[in-house]
Structure 1
Amino acid sequence: MYINNSNITLPDDNDTIVWKYLDLSKFLDMLLSRQLFMSRSDKFEDQYEGTFSEPTFEEIKKIAANNPKFLDYYKSHREKVVISSWHINEYESFAMWQIFTKNNEGLAIQSTIGRLKEALKPETRIEQYIGNVNYIDYKKEYIPFDDTFFPFLFKRKSFQYEREVRIISDVSLQNIPVNDGLKINVDLNQLIEKIYIHPKSENWYKKLVIELVSKLDLKIEIEKSDLESDILI
């Protein structure tokens, strides 16, 4: 269930295009389960995920000097926050294909901010929030900690190319096991506007994806990547 939070920023335009690049195995898991995987925040490759910048950490250490459990809470909290990452871009990104798909059998899901909000409505167990990631200098800039989500909506400036918007949930109060992450219920027809096939994939692969989507009775348009258009001389 998507919940609006006035403290979390998002593009004003619900038609803002977002993308998710993923391998075939993760795509198949999404289609067959009709669920979206959300990764546990401390399992991301970036070890700074869900941590604080240096100015913020200095302030937290002062508070924790008289209350050690205060710092322990933030350390353990990372294990109870789950995230699904999306990339804001009007067009496909060559860099995203390179980073997030390991071979020629990757796919890109195209959606919009509005579609993300609507697709989350079937999920009633967990509250989801959607917010922009802010890219800052962790040595100089301050991250507020008056909201438990805020450490997870900041990343280092070296990740600016990701242009990330996140679906984010805190499951601290639910008795839900979280190993590497958890799956949430979504309306796939609402979530996915188009599926783009990897630019280096062969025709048989596109036919396979089309057949799979059809057999699962999903009404989703499938395109070959725009990066694989014909060369005109």
Structure 2
Amino acid sequence: MYVHHPNIKLPDDPDTVVWKYLDLSKFLDLLLSQQLFMSRSDKFEDQYEGTFSEPTYEEIKKLSENNPEFLAHYKSQREKVVVSSWHSNEYESFAMWQIFTQNSEGLAIQSTIGRLQKALAVEQNFEQYIGEVNYIDYKKEYIPFNDMFFPFLFKRKSFQYEREVRIISDISSKNMKINDGLKIDVDINQLIEKIYIHPKSENWYKKLVIELVSKLGFGFEIEKSDLESDILI
């Protein structure tokens, strides 16, 4: 279930458009299970994920001198926080197609902040928060650590192009161990407003996606991305 968090910043407008770029197998898994996969935060490629900037780390080190458990707690927390990443943008992104899909195959889910919030209402076991990622200079800027979620809502400035919005959950109270991540129940019809198919995909691929979605009983709109539409001279 989605829970509002006073310290986590979100766009004011619930109609703010967000995207998730993924391959067909992950998309099918989402539809068949009606569950959204959330990755363990220390499994992302970015090794800084869930860590602190240098000024913050120095302060935590001082606090840990007489209390070594303090630092150990923050390190172990990365295994207990799970994240689903979305890209905030009014339009689809050429860069995101290149980064997150391969071989001219793949698709993009278009949704909104408000839809994400409603889609999470069916999950009863875990609480989810949604927040915008802040992009900072890890050598100079300070990440507050008075809230457990803050390390997971800051990234280095070089990732700014991601314009990331995160669904985030803390499972530390559940006394469970997870390997790569966790699946949470979602209302697929709320989660997905529209599907865009890879701009360089073949027609058979578009037909395949339309047929699969129809056979699984979903009725959302499916379009081919227009990033590769015919050039008019």
Q: TM-score, normalised by structure 1?
A: 0.99
Counterpart of 1:132 in structure 2 is 132
1:193-212 matched pairs, under 5 angstroms: 193-212=193-212
Distance in 2 separating the partners of 1:96 and 1:196:
13
CA displacement, residues 23-74 of structure 1 (integer Å, 9 cap, x when unaligned): 1111111111111000000000000000000000000000100000000001
Decide whether the 8 Å contact of 1:92 with 1:226 is kept in 2.
Answer: no
Distance in 2 separating the partners of 1:24 and 1:103:
11
What are structure 1's unaligned runs of at least 5 residues? none
Distance in 1 separating the partners of 2:97 and 2:55:
35
Residue identity matched to 1:72:
A
Counterpart of 2:74 in structure 1 is 74
Residue 121 in 1 paired to residue 121 in 2?
A: yes
Give the secondary-structure state (helix, strand or coil) at the position aligned to 1:103: coil
Counterpart of 1:33 in structure 2 is 33
Distance in 1 separating the partners of 2:23 and 2:65:
45
Counterpart of 2:215 in structure 1 is 215
Residue 176 of structure 1: how far off its partner (Å):
3.4
Residue 44 in 1 paired to residue 44 in 2?
A: yes
Counterpart of 2:231 in structure 1 is 231
Residue identity matched to 2:198:
H
CA displacement, residues 203-232 of structure 1 (integer Å, 9 cap, x when unaligned): 111111111111111121000002121221
Counterpart of 1:149 in structure 2 is 149
Name the % identity: 82
Distance in 2 separating the partners of 1:159 and 1:102:
20
Residue 177 of structure 1: how far off its partner (Å):
3.4
Counterpart of 1:183 in structure 2 is 183
Decide whether the 8 Å contact of 1:131 with 1:153 is kept in 2.
Answer: yes
What are structure 2's unaligned runs of at least 5 residues? none
Q: How many residues of Structure 1 are paired with residues of Structure 2 in the alignment?
A: 233
Residue 7 of structure 1: how far off its partner (Å):
0.7
Distance in 1 separating the partners of 2:232 and 2:101:
27
Give the secondary-structure state (helix, strand or coil) at the position aligned to 1:108: strand
Give the secondary-structure state (helix, strand or coil) at the position aligned to 2:173: coil
CA displacement, residues 72-96 of structure 1 (integer Å, 9 cap, x when unaligned): 0011110010000000001010000
CA displacement, residues 179-205 of structure 1 (integer Å, 9 cap, x when unaligned): 110110000000000000001111111
Q: CA RMSD in A?
A: 0.7
CA displacement, residues 77-127 of structure 1 (integer Å, 9 cap, x when unaligned): 100100000000010100000001122111000000000000000001000
Residue 173 in 1 paired to residue 173 in 2?
A: yes
Q: TM-score, normalised by structure 2?
A: 0.99
Give the secondary-structure state (helix, strand or coil) at the position aligned to 1:173: helix
Give the secondary-structure state (helix, strand or coil) at the position aligned to 2:122: coil
